[in-house]
Amino acid sequence: MTEQPTSFERAQAGAEPTDARGSLLDAPEPAQTLPLQPRPADDAPCAPAAPPAQGEPSSDDDPASAEHAQPAVAEPDPHRPRPVPESIPAQPDAASRQAAAGDVPGTGADDTASGSKATDGKGADDKGAAEHDGARPERRTGRGLPGGRALPMRRQGDRLRFVGAATRRIARGMDLDEIVLGLCRATVPTFSDAILVYLREPLPVGDERPVGPLVLRLRRTDRIPAERDPEVGFTPAPTPEQPAELSQVTNELCEVEPGSALGEVLRGVRPVFTDAPQAHAALSELLGPDSGLTLPDGQRTILAPLRGRRRVIGAALFLRLPERSAFEPDDLLVAAQLATHSALGIDKAVLYGREAYIADELQRTMLPETLPRCTGVRLASRYLPAAETARVGGDWYDAIPLPGSRIALVVGDVMGHSMTSAAIMGQLRTTAQTLAGLDLPPQEVLHHLDEQAQRLGTDRMATCLYAVYDPVSHRITVANAGHPPPLLLHAGGRAEVLQVPPGAPIGVGGVDFEAVELDAPAGATLLLYTDGLVESRLRDVWTGIEQLREKLQATGRLTGPDHPPPLEALCDDVLDTLGPGDRDDDIALLAARFDGIAPSDVAYWVLEPEDSAPGRARRLARRALDRWGLEELSDSVELLVSEVVTNAVRYASRPVTLRLLRTEVLRCEVGDDVPQLPRLRQARATDEGGRGLYLVNRLARRWGATRLSTGKVVWFELNRS
C-alpha cells in the first residue's frame, strides 16, 4: 500500500499585489507530490535514515520530499511558517552513518536520481524567486507597488482607523458649532482637501415637522493650507484654514425645489460622486450658477446628504485637488459614515440646545428678572446652578415691596435640582408673593406655605427664610423654616450669625413657626443664602457657615468702618469661598444693605375721621415741607393729600394715619380701616365726585393702594426737583 500524493499551496514572489485578500496565497505551479516509498515488511526492522553526506543535497532541502518547504525569499513572511535553512551543517560521523545505512530499503539509484531531480527543482525555484524578488511588495508597508499605491488590506485598515478617529472627534461636540467643526477638522486634509457643510435653515427640532420649503445654508468651509502639498493616504496633517476661493461661494442660501436634481440626490441619502450627470446638476444647483469655486474633474468630489433621525438636515461636499489621487468607491462608505455620525450629532445638539433653552427660560421666569428699588435698602443677588447640565433647581430668592416702605426678603430651597423641583419652587414663590401682598406676619406666611406644600404632595419638602425690614424703625422681623441662619455684616466690619429659631422644613405639617425681631442698624448688610453655599461633601453646614462668616468679616474690614463694601463685589467675594469640589447643589444668594430712613425725614400723624380732617392734613403737610425746604411742592402735595384723606374719612370708622417720607422722592401714605381698594374710573360730566384719583394719577410720579390685614394704605410719590 502506497501513500496518496499530498498537494499544498505556497506563496509565489511574483503574484499580483492587488489581490483583495492581501495574503498572496495562490501559486501558479502544479502541486508537487511526495515520492512513492516501498512499505517494509511487518517483521523487517526499521533502520534509521542516514543523513546525506557533506556536499550532497538534503531531503529537507528538496521541495518534492518536504511537505512544508518554503521557497527562498528576500524577507520572511510573518504570516507563514519560518522556512528551514538552505543547508544543514554535516555531522562529524556523517560518512560512517551513511555507510551503515547503505542496505536500508528505499535508498540507491532511485533515491539518487530523485535527489538530483530535487536539486534541479530547487534551483528553478530559487531562480524564479530571484526574478520576481524586485517586483514583490512587502505586505505591511506596500513598498514596491507602482504609483505609490498601498495594498488593499492596508488601505482598508487605514480607512477603518480613520473612520474610528473621525467619529470620536465628531462625537465630542456638544453644540452645533462644535460638531460641524469636528467634521471639518477630522476630514481635512486626511480624507479630503476641502469641505463645505450645508445645514437646513431653520433646523427642525425632534419630531417637529417643517412647514416651509427645504432651504440649505452654507454653515462652514475648510481646506488645507495653500503652501502645503497634499499627501497620499490617510495621514494626519496641520490644522486647516479658511481659503479665499471657498469664501467665493455666492450661493450661501439654496432653496431645494421639489423634483429637482438636488432634491433627488438628497432623497437618495447615499453619498454620490458628482461626475454623474444628475449629481453634477445637483452640485451646480447647490453651489449656484455664479459660484467662483473651481471643481476638479473625475471622481474628486463627493456629495453626501446629512440625514438625521427623521429627515435630511443638510449636505456635506468633500473635494480633492487634481494633484491628489481621486476618490475610490470605498471612499463613499467613509463619506456615508461621516455624514451619518455628523447628522445624528447635529440632531442631538439641536435637541440639547432646545432643552437648555427651556431650562434657562424656566429658571429665568421662576426667579426675579430684576430686583425692586425700595426706599432705605439696596439689593444684590446671585444664582448658580448645580452644573451646566442641570441648569434648573429648587433654590429661589425674592424681594417684595410692602406697604409702609417695608420690604420682604425671601430665600428658599426645594429638595433636589430638577425640573420638578423648579416647578414646585415656582408654585411656592408665587404663594409667598400672594401672602406677602396680604401683609401677613412672617410666621403666618410660613404656615400658609407649609399648607400649600402639603397640598402639592406628601414628599414636597423645602426650607425657607422670610424676613421683613422696616427702614423707618430700623428693625427686621425674621421667621425660619429649617433654613441656614442669615449673616449680618455691621458697618465696622464685624460679622455675626443671627440667632433665629430653626423651625421645621416646609411640608412637614402641624408645626408652629416662630418669628423674632432684631435690630437692623444703618450701614449693615444682611446676607441670605441657600445651603449649597456652605455645605458640600467636603464640609458640614456649620463649618461652612463659620468659614462664610470669616470671609464676610475679612471683606468688610478691607474697606474700613466708614465705607461698607459694595454689594456686587461682596457677592462675588462670597462666591469665591467655593472650592473646586464644593459645587454639589445650586446656590441662591441675596444681599440687602440697610440704609434706613432717618427720623428727621419722617413725619407721622393720626387724624380722626371727621369733616375737618382734610383741612388739618393740608396744614400739617405744608409745615413739614417748609421744614424740609420743599416749599415748591406745597401746592401739589396739599391738593393730593386733601383728595386722598377726604376719600378715607368718608368711609373709615377708625382714625386715619398720614405719613410723609423724605428720601430721593417725597412719599405720602394714608391708611384707614376699610379693606376695599379704590379704583381709577372716568367720571361723567354730571358726577359731583370721582375725580380725586384722576388728579392723583395725573400729578403724582407713582401711586398705588395696598391691602393690609387691618385695612389698606393709599400712597403716592412726587419728585423732589
Contact 464, 410 (CB under 8 A): yes
CA distance 10 to 72: 11
Segment 554-559 shows an average pLDDT of 86
Q: Give me the sign of the Cα torsion angle 257, 259, 261, 262.
A: positive
User: Which ranges constitute the DSSP H helices of 400-489?
Assistant: 419-437, 442-456
Segment 524-552 shows an average pLDDT of 89
What is the structure's pLDDT at 294?
A: 67
CA distance 297 to 636: 86
Q: Is the peptide bond before 189 cis (omega within 30 degrees of 0)?
A: yes
What is the structure's pLDDT at 404?
A: 81
- Across 34-48, 99-113, 684-698, the highest mean pLDDT is recorded for 684-698
Angle between helices 419-437 and 442-456 (to 10 degrees): 140
* 14 DSSP 8-state letter: T
- Across 86-95, 353-362, 607-616, 691-700, the highest mean pLDDT is recorded for 607-616
- Among 111-115, 316-320, 327-331, 709-713, which is the least confidently predicted range? 111-115
What is the structure's pLDDT at 405?
A: 86
What is the structure's pLDDT at 657?
A: 94
Tell whether the model's pLDDT for residue 656 goes beyond 80: yes
- Among 132-146, 177-191, 546-560, 702-716, which is the least confidently predicted range? 132-146
Percent of the chain whose pLDDT exceeds 70: 71
Tell whether the model's pLDDT for residue 25 goes beyond 60: no
Q: Which residues pair with 273 in a beta bridge?
A: 302
Segment 500-511 shows an average pLDDT of 88
* 82 DSSP 8-state letter: P
Residue type, 390: A
* 161 DSSP 8-state letter: H
CA distance 660 to 376: 14
Tell whether the model's pLDDT for residue 75 goes beyond 50: no
Closest to 431 in 3D by CA, of 407, 414, 450: 450
Helix, coil or strand: residue 571: helix
Q: Hey, which bits of 39-191 come out as E strands?
A: none
Q: Which helix (H) or strand (E) holds 476?
A: strand 475-481
Q: How many CA atoms lie within 13 A of 707 on its CB side?
A: 12
- Among 141-145, 324-328, 545-549, which is the least confidently predicted range? 141-145
Q: Hey, which bits of 187-341 come out as E strands?
A: 194-200, 214-223, 253-256, 272-273, 301-307, 312-319
pLDDT tens-place string over residues 387-405: 665 667 788 999 999 888 8
Closest to 661 in 3D by CA, of 581, 718, 578: 718
User: Which ranges constitute the DSSP H helices of 588-633?
Assistant: 613-628
Q: 619-654 as b/e, with b when 16 or more CB fall inside 10 Å?
A: ebbbebbeebebeebbeebbebbbbbbbbbbeebee
- Would you call 558 exposed, middle or buried from its count of C-beta atoms within 10 A (0-12, 13-18, 19+)? exposed
Q: Hey, which bits of 570-693 come out as E strands?
A: 587-594, 602-607, 656-662, 665-672
CA distance 236 to 258: 40
* 518 DSSP 8-state letter: E
- Would you call 348 exposed, middle or buried from its count of C-beta atoms within 10 A (0-12, 13-18, 19+)? middle
What is the structure's pLDDT at 498?
A: 95
Helix, coil or strand: residue 343: helix
For residue 321, the Cα-to-chain-centroid distance in whole angstroms is: 36
Contact 223, 188 (CB under 8 A): yes
Contact 442, 474 (CB under 8 A): no
What is the structure's pLDDT at 635?
A: 93
The DSSP annotation for 521-574 comes to -TT-EEEEE-GGGT-BTTB-HHHHHHHHHHHHHHHHHHS-SSSPPPHHHHHHHH
- Across 73-82, 139-148, 451-460, the highest mean pLDDT is recorded for 451-460
Residue found under cell 435637541: 351
pLDDT tens-place string over residues 284-310: 888 877 666 667 777 889 999 999 887
What is the structure's pLDDT at 151?
A: 57
CA distance 201 to 353: 16
Tell whether the model's pLDDT for residue 643 goes beyond 80: yes
pLDDT tens-place string over residues 78-91: 444 555 444 444 44
For residue 219, the Cα-to-chain-centroid distance in whole angstroms is: 20
301-307/487-489 β-pairing: unpaired
What is the structure's pLDDT at 444?
A: 93
What is the structure's pLDDT at 70?
A: 44
Residue found under cell 531531480: 117
Q: Which residues pair with 590 in a beta bridge?
A: 381, 528
What is the structure's pLDDT at 65?
A: 40
Closest to 567 in 3D by CA, of 580, 579, 556: 556
For residue 605, the Cα-to-chain-centroid distance in whole angstroms is: 60
- Across 244-248, 250-254, 483-487, 684-688, the highest mean pLDDT is recorded for 483-487
What is the structure's pLDDT at 198?
A: 92
pLDDT tens-place string over residues 192-209: 999 999 998 888 887 777
Q: How many CA atoms lie within 13 A of 674 on its CB side?
A: 16
Q: Cα torsion at 614, 619, 622, 623 (round to 10°)?
A: -140
What is the structure's pLDDT at 605?
A: 95
Tell whether the model's pLDDT for residue 266 goes beyond 60: yes
Contact 602, 660 (CB under 8 A): yes
Segment 517-544 shows an average pLDDT of 89
Confidence of residue 583 (pLDDT cuts 50, 70, 90): low
Confidence of residue 581 (pLDDT cuts 50, 70, 90): low
- Would you call 180 exposed, middle or buried from its count of C-beta atoms within 10 A (0-12, 13-18, 19+)? buried
CA distance 645 to 670: 7
Tell whether the model's pLDDT for residue 558 goes beyond 60: yes
Segment 442-470 shows an average pLDDT of 91
- Among 213-227, 340-354, 431-445, which is the least confidently predicted range? 213-227
Confidence of residue 366 (pLDDT cuts 50, 70, 90): confident
User: Which ranges constitute the DSSP H helices of 440-495?
Assistant: 442-456
What is the structure's pLDDT at 687?
A: 60
What is the structure's pLDDT at 580?
A: 59
Closest to 525 in 3D by CA, of 493, 497, 488: 488
Q: In what order do the strands lie in the sheet with 272-273?
A: 253-256, 214-223, 194-200, 312-319, 301-307, 272-273
Tell whether the model's pLDDT for residue 155 goes beyond 80: no
Higher confidence at residue 146 or residue 672? 672
pLDDT tens-place string over residues 372-388: 988 889 999 999 887 66
Confidence of residue 76 (pLDDT cuts 50, 70, 90): very low
What is the structure's pLDDT at 432?
A: 93
Closest to 391 in 3D by CA, of 413, 368, 412, 421: 421
Percent of the chain whose pLDDT exceeds 90: 37
What is the structure's pLDDT at 36?
A: 46
Q: Which helix (H) or strand (E) holds 480?
A: strand 475-481
Report the mean per-residue pLDDT for the chain: 77
CA distances from 546 to 36, 316, 549 (A): 100, 58, 5
Confidence of residue 585 (pLDDT cuts 50, 70, 90): confident
Q: Which helix (H) or strand (E) holds 397?
A: strand 395-402
What is the structure's pLDDT at 690?
A: 65
Contact 416, 394 (CB under 8 A): yes
Q: Which residues pair with 589 in a beta bridge?
A: 382, 529
Contact 92, 33 (CB under 8 A): no
Residue type, 673: D
What is the structure's pLDDT at 153?
A: 58
What is the structure's pLDDT at 249?
A: 53
Confidence of residue 29 (pLDDT cuts 50, 70, 90): very low
Residue type, 274: T
Tell whether the model's pLDDT for residue 529 goes beyond 70: yes
- The set of cell numbers assigned to 548 is 462664610
Tell whether the model's pLDDT for residue 41 goes beyond 60: no
For residue 403, the Cα-to-chain-centroid distance in whole angstroms is: 45
